Amino acid sequence: MAKLKVAALISGRGSNLQALIDGCADGTIPAEIVLVISNNPDAAGLARARQAGIPTQVIDHRRFRDRAAFDAALDTALKASGAALICLAGFMRLLTRDFVETWRDRMINIHPSLLPAFPGLDTHARAIAGGHRFAGCTVHFVRFETDTGPIVVQARVPVRPDDTPETLASRVLEVEHKAYPLALRLLAEGRVRIEGERATVDAEPPDGFRLGDLPVPPVADRRSGALQSRPHPSPAEGNSNETGTETMVNHDDTHHRATYSGFIKLATISSIVVAIALGLMALFLL
Ligand code: GAR
């Protein structure tokens, strides 16, 4: 099978890039990193790429008059590389809508939270301040709104009572280094599909990982009786007891409640029909 050609965009340390490089090098991921671009000339990740013999390019955003011009330069370099997929690996620049649309469904990102909880910065401090029991990371397709898009892989870690943002960040980083190679492998193996802004993944998740977006169970709209979709819940949202798994259980509860109320309605109608029939029989016999 031909290897998926991948370009990575970085801004700093590049430890996630390293995890991808290692997975491609040891054959776990059927992909080849054909180019690493950094907007920051001092990014340590550039040395990691060079060490692995991967072509690198610095496209310093400070040299461009605006975001559109910077993104146009990125786009030109990426297209010239022949990459079919972009991996944002600690790339800390906002991208323009045009760029994101050009690479729609061909660009993924890793974010250090259980999205949709905590998009943006300071994710670990916010998870601790919010009293969440779990934190983690998300690999997702990139959409224009920051840190949104169909989810490929999520991995979670417990938040400990004595955690600081730094200790939590380092524990999350450990699972990032598993989640990103896993997501790239699944994509390179053609196991990921996007339908209606939700990703489904044809694979079994390892322990502590979740693959794809949660399915959206239909629920009855009380006013019209019509079926509606629910918004995508966060695995970390709500009170501190909620986890991804528990959220899925809540979905099942909703389904069971809807089934139960349907059963009650059916039983009531049946009882009325039986009562009328008995009444008619009684009249007839008298
Ligand atoms: C990682 O924790 C990654 O999730 C985060 O930056 C770090 C980069 O580390 N990315 C974002 O916050 C993007 N929203 P690395 O350079 O060692 O891979």
Note the pLDDT tens digit of each residue in 13-55. Answer: 999 999 999 999 999 999 999 999 999 999 999 999 999 999 9
* DSSP string computed for 26-48: TTSS-EEEEEEEESSTT-THHHH
CA distances from 113 to 138, 164, 205 (A): 6, 15, 18
Q: Which residues contact 193 (CB under 8 A, 6 or more apart)?
A: 199, 200, 201, 202
> Nearest Cα to 236, choosing from 146, 129, 137, 133?
133
Confidence class of residue 271 from pLDDT cuts 50, 70 and 90?
Answer: confident
- Cβ of 112 below 6 Å from ligand 1: yes
Output the pLDDT for position 147: 97
171: which 2 tokens?
Answer: 């524990």
Q: How many residues does the chain have?
A: 286
100: which 2 tokens?
Answer: 């994101």
Model pTM above 0.85: no
Output the pLDDT for position 197: 95
Per DSSP bridges, beta strands 209-211 and 151-158 are antiparallel
Asked whether the predicted pLDDT for residue 84 surpasses 90, the reply is yes
Residue 29 CA to ligand 1 centre (angstroms): 20
- Cβ of 15 below 6 Å from ligand 1: yes
Asked whether the predicted pLDDT for residue 255 surpasses 90, the reply is no
Average of per-residue pLDDT values in the chain: 86
> Nearest Cα to 64, choosing from 77, 80, 79?
77
5: which 2 tokens?
Answer: 């050609």
Confidence class of residue 272 from pLDDT cuts 50, 70 and 90?
Answer: confident
Q: Which residues contact 69 (CB under 8 A, 6 or more apart)?
A: none
Catalytic annotation, residues = 111
Residue 226 CA to ligand 1 centre (angstroms): 43
Average pLDDT value for residue range 87-109? 98
Q: Which atom of ligand 1 is nearest to the CA of 15?
A: 17
**Amino acid (1-letter code) at residue 281:** M
Least confident of 103-107, 241-245, 260-264: 241-245
In this predicted model, what pLDDT tens digit does every residue of 197-244 receive, in sequence order? 999 999 999 999 999 998 776 666 545 445 443 434 444 443 332 333
Query: Percent of the chain, pLDDT > 70?
Result: 81
- Cβ of 12 below 6 Å from ligand 1: yes
- Cβ of 14 below 6 Å from ligand 1: yes
Confidence class of residue 67 from pLDDT cuts 50, 70 and 90?
Answer: very high
**Helix, strand or coil for residue 10?**
strand
Residue 122 CA to ligand 1 centre (angstroms): 11
Distance of alpha carbon 149 from alpha carbon 140, whole angstroms: 6
Q: What are phi and psi of 45, to 5 degrees?
A: -60, -25
Output the pLDDT for position 218: 66
Most ligand 1 atoms within 8 A of CB, residue of 38, 176, 180 to mutate: 176
- Cβ of 13 below 6 Å from ligand 1: yes
Average pLDDT value for residue range 254-262? 38
Output the pLDDT for position 264: 54
- Cβ of 111 below 6 Å from ligand 1: yes
Average pLDDT value for residue range 239-262? 32
Confidence class of residue 273 from pLDDT cuts 50, 70 and 90?
Answer: confident
Q: Which atom of ligand 1 is nearest to the CA of 137?
A: 4
Q: Which atom of ligand 1 is nearest to the CA of 19?
A: 18
272: which 2 tokens?
Answer: 């009325």
> Nearest Cα to 86, choosing from 126, 48, 129, 139?
139
